[in-house]
Structure 1
Amino acid sequence: MKSIKIILTEVVCIATTLLNAQEKETENTWKGSRPDGHAPISVMGDHYHGKGELMFSYRYMYMNMEGLKAGSNNIDAQDVLIPNGGSYMVSPTQMPMNMHMLGAMYAPSDKLTLMSMFNYISMDMDHITAAGGAFATESSGLGDIKISALYKFLNKNKQSLHGQLGFSLPTGSIDNKSVTPASNGNEVILPYPMQIGSGTFDTDVAVTYLGQAELVSWGSQLKGTFRFGENDNGYRLGNQFGLNNWFAVKAANWISFSARVQGLIVNEIEGLNPALNPNMVITANTVNSGGEYIFGGLGFNFYVPEGNLKNFRFGFEFSSPLYQNLNGVQLKQKETITLGVQYAL
């Protein structure tokens, strides 16, 4: 009888030790269940989930481009027109874009999280002409579908590291058309920036580091987008390479405030669409594509830690370029506003 009691006592002691160790290990890991447990809402693929968890998200992004830059210098749109010594018959002046994004994430295991993203894009572009006129074009439609897998490499000492491999399916149109003053009432194909999709199968590769302390968190994401082959219209968009860094302060268990800095390099478009005249408008000339950017953003995350809406999140961020050096002559980036909601089950 004594031996059974001793064995039971030892089993209880071992179980208690293991539970305590597990609790300490859990306390010492990076956690997503706090307002700064996710990156600023504009960052994609920033976090993973535990086995069986499911998350749905909706994001809205407004991005504005206005005015022209040649390299890093501001220029007037009139200066690129033929009557003023320029080379083009038409120049854009502004291009606002709206994007609606629906996303889903599911974790079949603690190591692996699957992610998908669907989006709808609408754009307008205002122009002036060498003859002194003005007109606008518009483009809208479903964008390219993105699917990704995120793999957790480690999560300890309140630090986490995971990788991402994703693919973009060319479901967005590259044949959007509109009527212009020179088209005699006929619809003609729009220049490269006004097309919704890339037209190619693209690959995203990223690695994300996350860290947390009691009241602050930080993160860094290195990401590349690689495009292969050329689309049905004879070109492919440039590869992209970005480094995102952010820092957040947990003001309460339901809200955090963040600051973000991103460096981005975009390569020029390769090839050309034979249906576009590169001397008509700057957006139809592939020389005027790609560049180097530095963006800064400020935002907040709102999080519901308990109750019927537990794990509901709302995020907001306002960002603006701190530096941009553009290839050729292009519309310059202005403000970007991103907001979204996320709900985990």
Structure 2
Amino acid sequence: MKHLLCGSALALAALCPVSPAFAQESADLDQITVQAPLLHPSAGLMNEHMHDGGEFMIGLRLERSRSAGINEAGTDDISDAAILAAGYTVRVKSMEMDMAMLDLMFAPNDTITLMVMPHYMWHRMEMVGIDPAGGGGHGGHAGHGPGMAMGFGEVHAHSTEGFGDTLVSASYRLARSDRFGAHATLGVWAPTGRVDRTNADGTFVHYGMQSGSGTWDVEPLLTVHGREGPMGWGAQASYRWRTEKANESGFRFGDVASATGWVSYLLGSSVGATGRIEYRREGAIEGHYDGPHHHDSPPDRQENYGGDVVRAGLGLNWLLPIAATSRPQLGMEFAVPLYQDLNGIQAPEKWTLSVGLSQAF
């Protein structure tokens, strides 16, 4: 945990702080006035802004991420022959995860903003057989389910869906001026998602296809942001701590440390472009399923989760042309990994697309 915190702090210090600043032109075209409720980065970041006292916001975020291609071990590609030699008869061909998140925010005063964010998740995975002999791998060991028995080159697709964990948070304003702001956030993840989903044969699905964590998690964050004319900037650091040793299925996901910086530039009175870079470190899964499960493929084993990833994202924010005192905001971001150092054997991340629509009242 200490190592994760140090990594997050160093990454944040190395980033050049950067944040989307949305603005509108006043009657004097040379004067730019930033609208505080619209200081939102693109849709790929949470808890990055606060609201004025008495303000309420509702928003919907959609996110899709895809992992695929030649599997990797650490920073290097790993061949199917090497995966087979490691004791696996099946590997990941592709995986997609979709999330739908409902943002509900309310500020009882100018100093505190409260948020509730429930999640709904979809996981889809394609597996491919890599054993020319069509073997059974680890799956036949005592306490595990029967082997998947997939033929060489055979592709099998499966999926899960359901409600994920729910984030409840409170943000406290530390500083606020025309050009600079800062706030601290304490988030709590309630384990409302399931961790007992099974395959048709009664064995547990891959760890990463469960829709919840099964543990109560605490996530503190620190966010700073500012602006200078048509340009905005910001940075955020966070740490998600799994407070329990194991969930009801016998394991716990790794802690997650992240640091991100973003910049934006006003393209017009209603449109801004954003750029963001993020460092994320996730620990390996600890513990072990306490019921029947396969060991034929890397995602069946807990050591093949987590690692270090650096992503870069580009996005747009748009105040929709709807006549209202506070216009709805549409944000989009497309992010790709620049660097990946993955634990064990995993399919590498390819891209993440985030879209968010919000309205303040």
Corresponding residue SS for 2:208: helix
**Which of 136, 149, 158 is matched with 2:170 structurally?**
149
Residues 126-157 of structure 1: CA deviation (Å, up to 9, x unaligned): 11123213211211001111100011011025
2:36 is matched with: 32
**Which of 194, 201, 207 is matched with 2:216 structurally?**
201
Alignment of 1:206-225 (within 5 A): 206-225=221-240
Describe the shift of the 1:145–1:60 C-alpha distance in structure 2 as closer, same or farther (beyond 3 A): same
Alignment of 1:155-174 (within 5 A): 155-174=176-195
Corresponding residue SS for 2:304: coil
Q: Distance in 1 between matches of 2:80 and 2:347?
A: 9
1:192 is matched with: 207
2:117 pairs with 1:117 = yes
Corresponding residue SS for 1:56: strand
Q: Give the deviation of 1:228 after TM superposition.
A: 1.3
TM-score by length of 1: 0.85
Q: Distance in 2 between matches of 1:164 and 1:121?
A: 24
Q: Give the deviation of 1:177 after TM superposition.
A: 1.6
Corresponding residue SS for 1:173: coil
1:248 is matched with: 264
1:285 is matched with: 301
The one-letter amino acid of 2:194's match is S
The one-letter amino acid of 1:172's match is G
1:14 is matched with: none
More divergent stretch after superposition (226-235 vs 277-286): 277-286
2:88 pairs with 1:88 = yes
Corresponding residue SS for 2:267: strand
1:24 is matched with: none
1:18 is matched with: none
Unmatched segments (≥5 aa) in structure 2: 1-30, 135-151
Q: Give the deviation of 1:41 after TM superposition.
A: 1.2
Corresponding residue SS for 1:212: strand
Corresponding residue SS for 2:118: strand
The one-letter amino acid of 1:46's match is E
Describe the shift of the 1:45–1:305 C-alpha distance in structure 2 as closer, same or farther (beyond 3 A): farther
Q: Give the deviation of 1:29 after TM superposition.
A: 9.8
- Higher RCO structure (Cα 8 Å, ≥6 apart): 2
2:69 pairs with 1:63 = no
Q: Give the deviation of 1:31 after TM superposition.
A: 4.2
Corresponding residue SS for 1:187: coil
Q: Distance in 1 between matches of 2:291 and 2:347?
A: 22
Q: Distance in 2 between matches of 1:76 and 1:251?
A: 46
2:56 is matched with: 54
Q: Distance in 1 between matches of 2:288 and 2:324?
A: 54
Task: Looking at secondary structure, tell me which structure has more strand per residue.
Answer: 1
Q: Distance in 2 between matches of 1:306 and 1:160?
A: 28
Q: Distance in 2 between matches of 1:309 and 1:88?
A: 59
2:198 pairs with 1:177 = yes
Alignment of 1:222-301 (within 5 A): 222-229=237-244, 230-275=246-291, 277=293, 279-301=295-317
1:5 is matched with: none
Structure 1 or 2, whichever has the larger Rg, is 1
Contact 2:320 2:330 in 1 (8 A): no
2:360 pairs with 1:344 = yes
Q: Give the deviation of 1:276 after TM superposition.
A: 5.2
The one-letter amino acid of 1:55's match is M
Q: Distance in 1 between matches of 2:332 and 2:292?
A: 38
Describe the shift of the 1:306–1:279 C-alpha distance in structure 2 as closer, same or farther (beyond 3 A): closer
Describe the shift of the 1:344–1:157 C-alpha distance in structure 2 as closer, same or farther (beyond 3 A): closer
Q: Distance in 1 between matches of 2:32 and 2:356?
A: 29
Residues 309-345 of structure 1: CA deviation (Å, up to 9, x unaligned): 7331000100000000011111211111111100000
Contact 2:32 2:230 in 1 (8 A): no
Q: Distance in 2 between matches of 1:242 and 1:309?
A: 36
2:332 pairs with 1:316 = yes
Describe the shift of the 1:309–1:341 C-alpha distance in structure 2 as closer, same or farther (beyond 3 A): farther
Q: Give the deviation of 1:287 after TM superposition.
A: 1.4
Q: Distance in 1 between matches of 2:261 and 2:159?
A: 34
Q: Give the deviation of 1:30 after TM superposition.
A: 6.8
Describe the shift of the 1:116–1:337 C-alpha distance in structure 2 as closer, same or farther (beyond 3 A): same
Describe the shift of the 1:59–1:66 C-alpha distance in structure 2 as closer, same or farther (beyond 3 A): same
Q: Give the deviation of 1:78 after TM superposition.
A: 5.2
Q: Distance in 1 between matches of 2:266 and 2:279?
A: 25
Q: Give the deviation of 1:28 after TM superposition.
A: 11
Aligned residues: 308
